[in-house]
Amino acid sequence: MTNPVICQRSLNSPEIRSDSGINCKLVIGLISGTSVDGIDAALVEISERQGSLTTKLIAGHTYAYDNELREQILAVCAGQPRSLPQLCELDDRIAESFAKAALAIMAKGDRAADLIGSHGQTLFHRPPSLSASDQTSLGYSVQFGRGAVIAELTGIPTVSDFRAADIEAGGQAAPLVPMADVLLLSHDTKYRVCQNIGGISNLTYLPPQAIAHLDQVFGFDNGAGNVLIDMAAQQLFGVSFDRHGALARQGVANLELVQQWLRQDFLVAPPPKSTGRELFSPEYLAARLAEFTGGNNHDILATLTEFTAQAIAQSYHDFLPQFPDQVLISGGGGRNQYLMERLQDVLQPAIVMRTDDLGLDSDFKEAIAFALLAYLRVNERYGNLPNVTGAKRSVLLGQIYKSL
């Protein structure tokens, strides 16, 4: 799709383009998100002409983790102890899986890729602390899958460690996709929200001509997304997710509980904010399930699905300066038809659609975003939006690992 590009000045980027020696056109974006379902890989053609940025998805595929690796990742995310050598081995195994995914997606194109942007796998995320008693107020965000290994195994220059510089600038380091949303999904006259529903939900608020009014763009994590639904589907029905929302659709949501859950600290806290599996953990789900009296397993999934939908709607009413005309859904939650129906209901009068309707593949939007962020990085253009992450300044995101 063709999109306007943020001019360098409005990005406050250095006037002079880098001489990184990388003539990047064909870029691979890689990410495994909080669902830990596998590595999303996108082979993206990126070009700029007459002030417009063009991205074309040449190929996209999700490469599932093998079961044992996924279990290891989920165990570490859930706080189970591991020795340092075990963690290093896990880091290497994830990096190798990412490198394999990069080579496999590249094989679907007709030429070698110029660059890889690899987010890696988040294992731990701690937003910056507001408490004066903490030794450091800086956040901490750990992604496994070392860029150095990916560059070495693929022979392709690789950008990774996207979140570190924003943390150093005092930011949340998340969400980072909003820069890509600005570049790819801004509209001249309409207020848009880009709503990703992966493991965690996160949004980008795009006022009309967001590119020209970059200071009015913001975004934040706004709820549990699919993570609670997935864990409950596994525990109660032995399936890894509620396909199309068919299980929830058979139940009746407990609206009293939903109202109670919506008062949770994270949901009512003002942005900037980010979260992860540290909050929406197995313990968190167990505590919510313990609050059920009566009701069957379908009712539980219906209630968790309603919670996901209403947490999103509540965040718009509480924190957006203007209710959007359009809500553009991406991420696996967009495939949950029942959740989509509930969203259309609770987000009226906004029109809810998937980004696919605008020509941007909703399954690979995050992978495309990290291809784009890598492209910005090698061209020495800022990748974070301080209004989103709360960072003190715009920064270059990511370390570049060049293979010899």
Ligand X SMILES: Nc1ncnc2c1ncn2[C@@H]1O[C@H](COP(=O)(O)OP(=O)(O)OP(=O)(O)O)[C@@H](O)[C@H]1O
Q: Is 182 within any annotated ligand binding site? A: no
Residues 49-108 binding ligand AH0 (CB under 6 A) are none
Binding status of residue 198 toward ligand AH0 by CB under 6 A: yes
Question: Are the C-beta atoms of 33 and 367 separated by less than 8 Å?
Answer: no
Question: Are the C-beta atoms of 137 and 156 separated by less than 8 Å?
Answer: no
Contact of residue 331 among ligand AH0, ligand X, none (CB under 5-8 Å per partner type): ligand X
Q: Characterize the bridge pairing of strands 326-330 and 351-354.
A: parallel
Residue type present at position 262: L
Contact of residue 174 among ligand AH0, ligand X, none (CB under 5-8 Å per partner type): ligand AH0
Contact of residue 362 among ligand AH0, ligand X, none (CB under 5-8 Å per partner type): none
Q: Is 35 within any annotated ligand binding site? A: yes
- Cα 154 versus chain centre, distance: 24
Binding status of residue 34 toward ligand AH0 by CB under 6 A: yes
Binding status of residue 164 toward ligand AH0 by CB under 6 A: no
Q: Is 388 within any annotated ligand binding site? A: no
Contact of residue 394 among ligand AH0, ligand X, none (CB under 5-8 Å per partner type): none
Contact of residue 177 among ligand X, ligand AH0, none (CB under 5-8 Å per partner type): ligand AH0
- Which residues lie near ligand X (CB under 6 A)? 33-35, 37, 196, 198-200, 225-226, 229-230, 241-245, 331-333, 335-336, 366
- Residue 357: CB atoms within 10 Å: 12
Token pair listed for 244: 């199309």
Q: d(Cα 194, Cα 325) in Å, to the nearest integer? A: 11
Contact of residue 298 among ligand AH0, ligand X, none (CB under 5-8 Å per partner type): none
- Is the bond preceding 272 in cis, omega lying within 30 degrees of 0? yes
Binding status of residue 176 toward ligand AH0 by CB under 6 A: yes
Long-range contact pairs involving 284-287 (C-beta distance under 8 Å, separation at least 24): 284/228, 285/228, 285/231, 285/232, 285/235
C-beta of 298 vs 316, nearer to ligand AH0: 316
C-beta of 40 vs 299, nearer to ligand AH0: 40
C-beta of 20 vs 264, nearer to ligand AH0: 264
Residues 318-347 as x/- pattern, contact with ligand AH0 by CB under 6 A: ------------------------------
Question: Are the C-beta atoms of 69 and 402 separated by less than 8 Å?
Answer: no
Residue type present at position 70: R
C-beta of 64 vs 252, nearer to ligand X: 64
The H or E element that residue 93 is part of is helix 84-106
Is residue 232 left, alpha or beta, with left meaning phi > 0 and alpha meaning psi from -120 to 50? alpha
- Residue 135: CB atoms within 10 Å: 6
Q: d(Cα 367, Cα 360) in Å, to the nearest integer? A: 12
> Judged by CB under 6 A, how many residues of this single chain contact ligand AH0?
17
Residues that bind ligand AH0 (CB under 6 A): 33-34, 122, 125, 141, 174-177, 198-200, 202, 221, 274, 276, 366
Annotated binding site for ATP: 33-40
